[in-house]
């Protein structure tokens, strides 16, 4: 009996001991397991911190090289989802230009499905927060809004904003925007998330401040350069507000230094004694350039105050590398002296040409009388000399006529006597007259091709003959022997003009020379000695006469493949212009 009790007590003690040992072992195991889990958690947190620091470093490194506001915005919005988990993020930045079209811009990034009510609520939260920090109230209608939506971010059923973080963007202690993230879940963001958002906002603030300082320094440098320029300079931004006007521009426009400086007041000084409503026209031209409908507009005005002067101004758009219009520049030049020199030169050329024409006519008449035997028979040598003299007198007469024509055109003294006539018949008639010149070089002038048997234009027949004769004579002059010249006439695509073309198989014109082709006194490939000669006025005269009719002239050419000149004249149903500006 005692032995049984003894063994029972011993067995109970062993169970207790084994129980205690098992408990201690299990406790140790749990502690080790907890330690392992804690180590894993710490390792994950460490890995997360390392990843966050890497991303922040990448942001800092990338943003330090960016010198463009929009690129900074896109960079920040691109990095946010890499380190923060949210449904919607917004970036609101205010514009520092008081007269800008928008008071700021807002970027909205939806990563997960949210409802319209959610979007309305989060925008309201952002606007409420920013309006506390700035003196002027900002509304959604005042902003230029860009929205980025992920492929699965469609509108879900109605849901509310569960949590959000707003962090102001400060530059020199002034709030210029707000960076915000939001979620449908409550308590979705931690203190660490807030710290990260603050860090990114601070990096963005530093980048914007640095960019503003660079822009201010460059603007100061540009202002000093512009102020020192002889030409007048007027710079406007993309919405047409005045940015810079230099002293030369003020002087040319008769503005006092203390006068009010805004674009409307500046344009009010675009007064022209020859044309009414010039300020209104100047506003329309500036608007046209800023809208992208015109790259360069060139005009002249006559300013009477404080002294009479002629001012030429060019308005041109300023674009970035992507073609976006950033503003416009207006360059003013005082061309009073240049115009006076041109006037004196034109008068001199006209006077000398008139003085030469009379004795030339008498000399030619005497030569022709001798050639016709009016003063007795002449031998072969005399006939050869007199014939050569007659040809050179004709050539000199043509040169003088060209000089007179160009001087009349520049003086605005050319009058057009327009009438409707069949351009096909008239062209065929002119070709017959010039066939002899082509035959001397065995050049074939092909029959005139036209889109109809009769095509009528509103034009001056004599001026049309002068234009076409110049082009055909040029083709004969520059086409080698046994070459070919062809003419074609057809209606323009809009059926408002008739297009006349003269094509040859000559040497062609290089692309570098084409822009100067219609300039006065321009000749290409001219060499000393015998050969092709002229004044270089024929094409300039032809272009001016075509434009006086309201048409255009252009050229297509390639070296070694010939040249094709085309000019257009109004189809016979409109009013012929008199060559004077009607704007």
What pLDDT, in 10s, does the model give residues 60-91? Answer: 666 666 667 778 788 888 888 888 889 999 98
Q: Outline where 372-460 has alpha helix (H).
A: 380-411, 423-439
Of 169, 168, 165, residue with least CA distance to 190: 165
Q: How confident is the model at residue 529, as a pLDDT?
A: 39
- The dihedral region occupied by 272, where left means phi > 0, alpha psi between -120 and 50, and beta the remainder, is beta
- What Cα–Cα distance (Å) separates residue 54 from each residue in 43, 86, 125, 223, 482? 16, 20, 31, 41, 78
How many angstroms separate the first and last alpha carbons of the chain? 136
3-class SS string, 230-278 = CCEEEEEECCCCEEEECHHHHHHCCCCCCCCCCHHHHHHCCCECCECCH
DSSP letter string over 277-312? THHHHHHHHHHHHHTTS-SEEEEEEEE-SSS-EEEE
Distance, in Å, from the CA atom of 324 to the CA atom of 563, rounded to the nearest integer, reads: 37
Using one digit for the tens of pLDDT, what is the confidence trace for 191-213?
Answer: 888 988 888 888 888 888 888 88
Question: CA geometry: angle at 522 spanning 521 and 524, to 5°?
Answer: 140
Say which CATH architecture domain 419-570 belongs to.
2-Layer Sandwich (3.30)
Q: How many CB atoms lie within 10 A of CB 259?
A: 12
Domain ranges of the chain: 62-217, 229-331, 339-411, 419-570
pLDDT of residue 146: 74
CA–CA separation, 9 and 37 (whole Å): 41
171 - beta bridge partners?
174
Per-residue pLDDT at 412:
73
The beta strand positions in 83-139, using DSSP E, are 88-94, 104-110
Q: Which residues pair with 89 in a beta bridge?
A: 109, 181
Tell the CATH superfamily of the 62-217 domain: GAF domain (3.30.450.40)
Would you say the CATH fold of 229-331 matches that of 62-217? yes
* β pairing state of 163-171 and 174-183: antiparallel
Task: State the architecture of 229-331 in CATH terms.
Answer: 2-Layer Sandwich (3.30)
Position 526 scores a pLDDT of: 40
Closest CA to 302 of 264, 345, 340: 340
Q: Cα-atom radius of gyration of the chain, to the nearest Å?
A: 42
pLDDT for residue 431: 92
- Given a cut of 50, the residues of the chain with pLDDT beneath it are 525-532, 574-583
Is residue 197 within 8 Å of residue 181, measured between CB atoms?
yes
The pLDDT assigned to 100 comes to 52
Spatial distance between the Cα atoms of 436 and 524, rounded to a whole number of angstroms: 25
Q: How far apart are CA 463 and CA 456, in angstroms?
A: 15
């Amino acid at each position: 009996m005692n032995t049984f009790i003894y063994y029972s007590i011993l067995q109970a003690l062993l169970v207790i001991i084994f129980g205690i040992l098992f408990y201690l072992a299990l406790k140790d195991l749990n502690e080790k397991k907890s330690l392992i889990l804690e180590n894993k958690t710490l390792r994950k947190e460490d890995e997360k911190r390392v990843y966050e620091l890497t991303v922040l470093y990448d942001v800092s490194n990338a943003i330090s090289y960016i010198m463009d506001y929009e690129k900074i915005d896109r960079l920040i919005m691109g990095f946010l989802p890499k380190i923060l988990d949210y449904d919607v993020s917004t970036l609101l930045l205010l514009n520092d230009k008081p007269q800008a079209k928008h008071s700021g811009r807002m970027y909205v990034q939806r990563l997960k499905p949210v409802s319209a009510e959610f979007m309305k609520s989060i925008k309201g939260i952002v606007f409420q927060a920013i309006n506390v920090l700035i003196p002027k109230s900002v509304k959604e209608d005042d902003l230029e809004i860009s929205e980025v939506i992920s492929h699965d971010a469609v509108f879900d059923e109605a849901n509310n904003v569960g949590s959000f973080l707003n962090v102001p963007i400060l530059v020199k202690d002034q709030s210029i925007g707000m960076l915000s993230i939001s979620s449908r879940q409550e308590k979705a963001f931690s203190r660490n998330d807030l710290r990260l958002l603050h860090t990114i906002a601070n990096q963005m603030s530093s980048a914007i401040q640095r960019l503003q300082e660079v822009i201010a320094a460059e603007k100061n440098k540009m202002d000093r350069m512009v102020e020192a320029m002889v030409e007048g300079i007027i710079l406007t931004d993309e919405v047409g507000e005045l940015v810079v006007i230099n002293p030369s521009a003020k002087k040319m426009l008769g503005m006092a230094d203390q006068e009010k400086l805004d674009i409307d007041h500046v344009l009010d000084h675009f007064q022209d004694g020859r044309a009414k409503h010039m300020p209104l026209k100047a506003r329309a031209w500036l608007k046209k350039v800023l809208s992208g409908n015109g790259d360069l507009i060139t005009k002249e005005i006559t300013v009477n105050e404080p002294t009479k002067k002629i001012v030429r101004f060019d308005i041109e758009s300023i674009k970035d590398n992507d073609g976006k219009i950033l503003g416009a520049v207006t360059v003013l030049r005082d061309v009073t002296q240049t115009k006076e020199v041109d006037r004196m030169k034109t008068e001199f050329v006209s006077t000398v040409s008139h003085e030469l024409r009379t004795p030339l006519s008498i000399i030619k008449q005497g030569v022709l009388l001798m050639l016709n035997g009016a003063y007795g028979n002449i031998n072969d040598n005399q006939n050869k000399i007199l014939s050569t003299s007659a040809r050179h007198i004709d050539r000199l007469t043509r040169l003088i006529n060209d000089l007179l024509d160009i001087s009349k055109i520049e003086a605005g003294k050319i009058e057009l006597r327009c009438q409707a006539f069949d351009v096909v018949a008239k062209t065929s008639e002119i070709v017959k007259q010039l066939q002899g010149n082509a035959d001397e070089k065995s050049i074939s002038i092909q029959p005139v091709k036209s889109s109809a048997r009769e095509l009528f234009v509103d034009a001056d027949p004599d001026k049309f003959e002068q234009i076409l004769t110049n082009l055909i004579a040029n083709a004969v002059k520059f086409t080698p022997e046994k070459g070919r010249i062809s003419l074609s006439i057809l209606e323009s695509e809009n059926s408002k003009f008739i297009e006349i073309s003269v094509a040859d198989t000559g040497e062609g014109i290089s692309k570098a020379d084409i822009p100067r082709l219609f300039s006065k006194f321009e000749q290409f490939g001219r060499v000393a000695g015998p050969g092709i000669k002229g004044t270089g006025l024929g094409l300039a005269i032809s272009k001016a006469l075509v434009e006086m009719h309201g048409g255009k002239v252009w050229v297509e050419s390639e070296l070694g493949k010939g040249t094709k000149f085309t000019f257009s004249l109004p189809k016979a149903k409109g009013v012929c212009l008199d060559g004077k500006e009607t704007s």
